[in-house]
Structure 1
């Protein structure tokens, strides 16, 4: 079988971690597995250690946007169109597992049909809803939704990361067979063992920052508490379509209080998160995307670091349900005052000790590990 994805290690993203663990799990279970993906950005090419993996990785050049990310229709098509021929003319497979965007699912469905090969579509997100939430034109949303429906409807299984996504998939593509496999983090990378590169009153917003996530609320909250906690700092670690707006909003704050750091390899991201007082995650209300569950919170818990989560959605309910089991952090409404109170509380109290962080990390390993997710995927596709 073959995993098809426009993003993979060493690029740090939820998809990279999830699919990397899945590929390793397939290989450990005795399946022949390969990965079809892209050349990493130039800055990360020396960090790709493909030869150390128990499966072959085929990488191809691709267009990237100015931030070095494969994002945008031309960028997607620069991967998808050649991929169509690689699937059509490449070695016979028992199954393809396809990571979004829907354009990739669209072309794989066409090629797989010609090869008479089944594929599973990994619904880690609902792209048409995301497009609508970022203000895309109705025409664009309709096209994305049609492609998404086409990709999901042709799949032997749609693999969903949570119950909210499952409901949306069934609404968009009612005839699909949907299996909720859950989501989590690679606890071999994101754990409490090892050094922490940051210290003091530092909060990290890791991963992608898109408009629908509304990460600007943390900058606005930081502005409120800086007179009381002048050494407080937020580090945005990753990339995202909202970065220009976030950088513009932070320009009025004291120099160094908000830092933007491009994506780093997962191991380095884990070091940074282990050293932070807290990590940050958010979901802007009213976008139609309230079913999303930011996977960055799993990585933080794996490192033993608590989270400040602002917004609606299943993450708040999850944190409330499991609050007595581990030090998961603070979940609050999407209001500047509430977020400022949470930051103030985290920055003025003692950091969690090594023992407490270790307990949180061990809890994450038991409850939100990608190994368990991969086992459910393998069972669902039943190779």
Structure 2
């Protein structure tokens, strides 16, 4: 079977990113012909050079289309539009695929896939990584009400046009159902993690990192990810300041993004904050194993309660409990499986209280970590998830025939 993958944000394990689709297409390419249509936006972020840019056997088509979290709305729209036009043109000229797999965000990616699918009479699968346009609208990036309505109409048409829909969380699936999309057309495949990379971490590497940064004897709270406008970074900074006098608790933040300058200024003023540069995918798990507690923070917006952040899965797979701040499915998950705690989003005082409470109970921390590691083996293995994706793509391909 020939699978054409439309994904603007392709990255590999040398990048500071989740690499969900790298693992998936790597597994799919063992059994199928895979063509990837992408941009070079993330290629520029490579920190190491240990992995090929695309897995063996994958045919690559790539346009020059810069992208970064710090971009403003206009810059992002230019990047999205440029890739969408490239994907449409390239999708019409590559050898005809049996099925197209479009990975959103943004909406321009599934839009291009839908046009190619129609013109070439090919079924397509719509994977929803974030709820667009709901996400940029709730974040205030799209204020024009007429444009909002237009984007919602496009979104609904794309869901209906796709042969199959993949979401990354049960809350996302619920949103799609509410649009009138049949449940048998929608599959929830969690973001997941790379258990082989988790298992590759040696304890000596963890201890070397602890000694390198003078963290021996400290309880470590990690935030590993984007310093973006959706990640409640201002509230997290206030929490760090509230806890600056506690000499036993140290915050470690590793990432990049919009709030990096403010975090650098804060690190100069407080003694309990260590800022590290972004980590390549294959090294980030050492940090998660170093930490006693991991933070998964987001703004207090309904759309963000449905998301499926990679740091959530990476932390649990490493046996590190999580503290989440959104009242959606992640809160339900940590409470049901006893793998962490919840604190209200954008409430620095309550976040500080929750951190102190969690770290004051060593037995509960250990139990939550063990539970997280166990449930990860059962639910978060991306190599098993790749088989689910394979089955969905084959179902879509058969539906057209």
TM-score by length of 2: 0.81
Question: What does residue range 341-352 of structure 1 map to in structure 2 within 5 Å?
Answer: 341-345=353-357
Shift of 1:313: 0.9
C-alpha contact 1:37 1:57 (8 A) present in aligned 2 = no
Residue deviations 1:65-110, cap 9 Å, x none? 4668897111112222111111100111111111111111111211
Distance 1:303 1:165 in 2: 25
Structure 1 residue runs without a partner (length 5+): none
Q: Greater CA deviation, 293-302 or 80-89?
A: 293-302
Instruction: Sort the Cα spacing of 1:80 and 1:256 in 2 relative to 1 into closer, same or farther, 3 A.
Output: farther
Describe the SS at the equivalent of 2:392.
helix
Distance 1:287 1:221 in 2: 22
Match of 1:291 among 273, 281, 306: 306
Instruction: Sort the Cα spacing of 1:246 and 1:109 in 2 relative to 1 into closer, same or farther, 3 A.
Output: farther
Instruction: Sort the Cα spacing of 1:294 and 1:46 in 2 relative to 1 into closer, same or farther, 3 A.
Output: closer
Aligned position for 1:35: 36
The reply on whether 1:79 has 2:91 as its aligned counterpart is no
Describe the SS at the equivalent of 2:305.
coil
Distance 2:93 2:249 in 1: 58
How many equivalent pairs are there?
373
C-alpha contact 1:9 1:48 (8 A) present in aligned 2 = no
Shift of 1:45: 7.4
Instruction: Sort the Cα spacing of 1:68 and 1:36 in 2 relative to 1 into closer, same or farther, 3 A.
Output: farther
Q: Greater CA deviation, 364-373 or 198-207?
A: 198-207
Distance 1:58 1:356 in 2: 42
Residue deviations 1:270-315, cap 9 Å, x none? 2222222222102333444433343321011112222121231111
Describe the SS at the equivalent of 1:99.
strand
Instruction: Sort the Cα spacing of 1:24 and 1:76 in 2 relative to 1 into closer, same or farther, 3 A.
Output: same
Shift of 1:249: 8.1
Structure 2 residue runs without a partner (length 5+): none
Instruction: Sort the Cα spacing of 1:206 and 1:180 in 2 relative to 1 into closer, same or farther, 3 A.
Output: same
The reply on whether 1:366 has 2:378 as its aligned counterpart is yes
Aligned position for 2:4: 2
C-alpha contact 2:198 2:318 (8 A) present in aligned 1 = yes
The reply on whether 1:114 has 2:119 as its aligned counterpart is yes
Instruction: Sort the Cα spacing of 1:156 and 1:131 in 2 relative to 1 into closer, same or farther, 3 A.
Output: same
C-alpha contact 1:278 1:307 (8 A) present in aligned 2 = yes
Describe the SS at the equivalent of 1:182.
coil
C-alpha contact 2:324 2:342 (8 A) present in aligned 1 = yes
The reply on whether 1:301 has 2:316 as its aligned counterpart is yes
Question: What does residue range 145-164 of structure 1 map to in structure 2 within 5 Å?
Answer: 145-164=152-171
Shift of 1:165: 0.8
Residue deviations 1:179-206, cap 9 Å, x none? 2233311212234732223454432222
